[in-house]
Amino acid sequence: MTHKIKNLNLLSDFYDQKTLSLKDGVLYAESDKKTCDNLYVVIESETGVVVPPVLSFIVSHYRNHSKTSSATQAKALRLYFDFLHQHNLSWNIGALESVDRPFTGFKWWLKEQYEEGNIAGSTARSYFSVVANFYIFHLDINTPFTSIPMEYEEIEIRQFDNDPFAHIAGRSIVRRVSTEKLDVSARSQEGSLKPFTIQEQEMFFTKLKEHGSEEFLLICVLAILSGLRASEIADLRTDMFAIYKDDDPHFELELGAKAQHKTKQNSELPVTIAGSAVKLLKRYHISSRYVNRLNKFINNGGERANVFITQRGGAYSQHTISTLFNQFVHKHIYPEYPDFSHDFHDLRVTFGVDVMNAALNVKTLSDSEALRFTKSQMRHKNITDTLRYLSYFQKSKALVEQSKLNEELLSLIFSETA
């Protein structure tokens, strides 16, 4: 948690020594006493002890940048250390591969929170920048790390641009600069829907069948066929599907508190799932692969079985699913399709756009009725969220018509000049 210290008198490590003087045979270091007012720090909630690496960074940043408050830095690092604690990670243990580093996991988590609408883009970027600077600071003071903590480069800053001997004469300094980027917009997410195209869906699921795990394939199928969020899929339990009948083409799945299931904003709106998708889950749950995981789950003390269980017998989490998606894309999609720019949340977006498209194509439904139907299927709390899907579809449809007109015009022009 964060804690405000009204006045902090810094230890000798934090202030500049001015002169040395000898008094009565004792050598004294005379200096100006440094005090930080209203300093926000991060403390361990269980012990009440200030987190040392955070304190040193915040004090240095506070003094070197003439800060009047360290609230933003403390809040960002409290969030980061909470993330580390929840996922049993250590801030000073990196990895050779970027996908295995705690900082990379935090970056994906921030993007996930942004995509879910839980955090503003500007806030996510601010927190990301603070944690990146935190690592640069500790690299600069030679803090020992296990492997590489983050991607960075060293740049030389010269006092005189054309001085080839600047580094020898002490007229240049070398600074480390983070090369990590958080791919979110500082603006509101409104209007930034990115559904999969038909071609992208075919490519993505073909790659999943070839290289993905059975669990992750089913997770992605559920997301694109039902619009369930990653957190909602992670908390699905097998008993929630007990009343499904094999001949039903659709299944209305109860969610929320009454089903002892976690949803966004505690929504209890049900979701409709295709019967074929439920049959795939049912078939998977009697497989030896799932039964082996279920036995580990029970041996670990689990009581109410999750629909998806990890190889070690634990429950999936929202972060686990997002990490699996990012790792899969980096390993199996980017090498062949470097322009692929989707997140796991875009599977839900694709479902929403498809629902809106289908509803608008039903002649017996008015536009307002189609909007209400899509709102119920997406389980939106506010109609403004659903309007984004209507706007996206209408804009896409208009662009298709515009493209047709452009092609007709070009055809006319070139036929006349031929």
Q: Which residue has the tokens 């804009």?
A: 395
How many angstroms separate the CA atoms of 167 and 189, rounded? 45
Which residues have C-beta within 8 Å of that of residue 336, sequence separation ≥ 6?
none
Residue 127 lies in a domain: yes
The model's pLDDT over 62-121, given as tens digits with 9 standing for 90+, comes to: 665 545 557 778 888 888 988 888 888 999 998 888 888 899 889 988 888 887 777 777
Tokens of 38: 């209203």
Tell me, what CATH number does 116's domain have? 1.10.150
Query: What was the pLDDT predicted at 234?
Result: 92
- Of the pLDDT bands very low, low, confident and very high (cuts 50, 70, 90), residue 304 is very high
Residue 407 belongs to what domain range? 193-418
How many angstroms separate the CA atoms of 319 and 172, rounded? 43
Tell me, what CATH number does 210's domain have? 1.10.443.10
Domain shared by 327 and 280, yes or no: yes
Determine if the pTM surpasses 0.75.
no
Residue 26 phi, psi (nearest 5):
-115, 135
Q: Which of 178, 206, 224 is the last residue of a domain?
A: 178
Between 317 and 23, residue with greater pLDDT: 317
When divided into structural domains, the chain yields a total of 2
Q: Is residue 228 a contact partner of residue 199, using CB atoms and an 8 Å limit?
A: no
Percent of the chain with pLDDT over 90: 20
Domain shared by 409 and 301, yes or no: yes
Residue 15 lies in a domain: no
How many angstroms separate the CA atoms of 83 and 89, rounded? 8
Residue 35 lies in a domain: no
Residue 325 lies in a domain: yes
Give the range among 252-256, 263-267, 274-278, 409-413 with minimum mean pLDDT: 409-413
The model's pLDDT over 21-39, given as tens digits with 9 standing for 90+, comes to: 545 555 454 545 555 555 6
